[in-house]
Structure 1
Amino acid sequence: MTEGRVTAVSRNPEYAFSKPNQPSVTLLEGLGVEGDVHAGRTIRHQFRMTYEPDLPNLRQVHLMHEELFAELALKGFDVSAGGLGENITTRDVDLLGLPTGTLLHLGQDAVVEVTGLRNPCAKINDFRQGLLGEMFTIDPSSGDFTFKAGVMAVVRHTGTVRPGDAVEVEVPPFPHRPLERV
Structure 2
Amino acid sequence: MKYFKDVAGVVHAFEADGSQDEYIHADLVAMSESEIELHLNPRPLAPTTDELCTRIDTAADTARARVAGDPLRAVEYDRARIAAEQFAAAGYQGDVPPMVAAWAINGRTAREAADDILHEAAQYTAALIALRETRLAAKEQVRALMDAGEVEQAQQVVERTVAAIDVAVAGVGNA
Q: TM-score, normalised by structure 2?
A: 0.22
Task: Please tell me whether Structure 1 or Structure 2 has the larger radius of gyration of its CA atoms.
Answer: 2
The structure in which a higher percent of residues are helix is 2
Instruction: Tell me: higher relative CO, structure 1 or 2? Use CA pairs within 8 A at least 6 residues apart.
Output: 1
Q: TM-score, normalised by structure 1?
A: 0.21
